[in-house]
Amino acid sequence: MRLIISSLLLALITSGCTIEPWVQPYERANLADPIMSFSRNPVSASYRNHVFEAREGARGADGSQGGGCGCN
Amino acid sequence: MEVRVVVVVVTKASRYLLASLIIVLICPADAAVLPEDRTDVLSHSYKGGGIEISGPSVLVRKGDAKSFSAYANYYVDNISSASIDVQALGASRYQESRVEQSAGFDVLHGKSIMSFGYTNSVENDYVANTYHFGISMDMFGDLTTVSMGYAQGQDQIFRTALVDGVRGRDPGFNETALRRNYSLGLSQVVSKNLLLGLNFESISDEGYLNNPYRQYRYLSGSTARFETEVYPRTRTSNALSLQARYYLPYRAAIHYQERLFNDDWGIVASDSEVGYTHPFGENLILEIRYRLYSQTRANFYSDLHAEKSSQALDFRARDKELSSYDSRTLGLVVSYEFAKGGWWFIDKASLNLAYDYIKFDYKDFRDATASKTDASLVGNEPYYQFSANVLQLFFSVWY
């Protein structure tokens, strides 16, 4: 397992910086549209995540930063 | 090519993380993009399960348009609560407020952005201070963004009580909790129309982790009695999420998110969300979303424990957030954008309304109020369920 991960990392180090992008900058108009943003309205997304986190056992990996909610 | 030198104390556990960081740092440096300069003024409202919470949130972000961007957020929860826990204990509705203030900044250098943040949250019985550091890097022709973050929080937990006839902090109760968050993220351009995001976050807590007011229920003869909950003093959780957004052949987008979670308290959870975003003309954007959440209970949770806890490691909880349950959320967001051609100092503005309806169905948390007048119902009350309405009205300005 260690050998596989090390090999992958080595491959990335030696070739990662020179990978030819398969989506060119001029082809990214759709991706740049605000409707494609993962968090179009950060203040709203942060509030919604807080609503869920305060009422659910699960937490984390929701795209927001931890902030000591004092949810009890 | 710009090559940066870093000096890091290497531990065995951090070798692969360091190797990843080296890949990030030796790649050619062009330009990443800082968050947009904008201000959001939001009013929020939550009503459900006997709880009403409302208040404002104001987020201001401004940068120098080159290498620096700072933000500040002021957020308030005004709480009026007579939740099922409060009702089961025969306590009366209480009011309190929580004020959260955050500030931070991002520094852009080549393709990397370093972020620093601080959050302070204050209630009459809870004070939390959290520091955050993060780094993100665009790589592989800007198709991939890798990010890492660390946050550390120090919480102080108090308890209110009647002291000489006046409600204030109980001088005999003062606890602390330390929280550490480790996060890894990957955002990937897959095609001209598809974006993927992968996030992992591990959180470890140490200290006083339960609610000093909440009580567990146990059977004493044929009647139910209540005692203060007994929790472990450590908790470690891991969450992994996958996000995808796809641009449809016409101007609209669909999104999907899946998150898997587990912790060493025995909770296993997952949630899935699908959504559809559709602009109408140049000014109106409509989004509809549906989320399904499900979790199993913590090992030491029970609606009705068989007996009283006998010692500090004999854990007891009756927090419905630690029980087995499902929730379903149906949401709608309407955004009206205007001044898109620019006006005075602003580039664009929008007025937004977001509504979420959430339905909670508990599988092993019973409505204990049902047996308050009929003791023969103890342990056989109907399972608790409630719905909540969550409303956000916010105004955003870009400049």
Q: What is the mean pLDDT of residues A57-64?
A: 86
Answer whether B45's CB lies under 8 Å from B391's CB: yes
Give A-chain residues touching B1 at CB under 8 angstroms.
Answer: 17
* pLDDT at residue B26 tops 60: no
Q: What is the mean pLDDT of residues B245-272?
A: 97
- Please check whether residue B267 touches A, CB under 8 A: yes
Separation CA A42–CA A39 (nearest Å): 6
pLDDT of res. B362: 98
**Chain B: nearest CA to A71, how far in angstroms?**
9
What type of residue is B85? D
- Please check whether residue B372 touches A, CB under 8 A: no
Partner-chain contact B394 A23, CB within 8 Å: no
CA separation, residue B298 to residues A58, B301, B320, B364 (Å): 11, 5, 10, 11
* pLDDT at residue B181 tops 80: yes
Q: What is the mean pLDDT of residues B378-397?
A: 96
Q: What is the mean pLDDT of residues B350-362?
A: 98
Answer whether A8's CB lies under 8 Å from A2's CB: no
ipTM here: 0.90
B330-369 exposure pattern, b = at least 16 Cβ within 10 A, e = fewer = ebebebebeeeeeeeeeebbbebebebebebbbbbbbbbe
- Please check whether residue B200 touches A, CB under 8 A: yes
Q: What is the mean pLDDT of residues B2-26?
A: 44
Answer whether B252's CB lies under 8 Å from B277's CB: yes
Partner-chain contact B261 A44, CB within 8 Å: no
Domains and CATH numbers, chain B: 1-28 (no CATH), 98-398 (2.40.160)
**Chain A: nearest CA to B376, how far in angstroms?**
30
Instruction: Give residue-wise pLDDT tens across range A10-58.
Output: 665 555 556 778 899 899 999 999 999 998 999 999 999 999 999 999 9
Q: What is the DSSP string of B265-304?
A: TS-EEEEEEEEEEEEETTTEEEEEEEEEEEEPPPTTB-SS
Mean pLDDT rounded to a whole number for chain B = 91
Instruction: Give residue-wise pLDDT tens across range B133-155.
Output: 999 999 988 899 999 999 999 99
Q: What percent of chain B has pLDDT over 70?
A: 92
**What torsion do the CA atoms of B11, B14, B16, B20 make, to the nearest 10 degrees?**
-120
Nearest to B290 by CA among B307, B308, B271: B271
Q: At what angle do helices B15-26 and A2-15 cross, to 10 degrees?
A: 10
pLDDT-derived band at A5 (thresholds 50, 70, 90) equals low
Highest mean pLDDT, choosing among A5-9, B79-83, B220-224: B79-83
Instruction: Tell me how many residue pairs between chain A and chain B have CB atoms under 8 A apart.
Output: 206
pLDDT of res. B165: 83
**Angle at Cα B344 formed by Cα B339 and Cα B347, nearest 5°?**
45
What type of residue is B223? T
**What torsion do the CA atoms of A15, B146, B190, B292 make, to the nearest 10 degrees?**
150
Q: What is the DSSP string of B115-132?
A: EEEEEEEEETTEEEEEEE
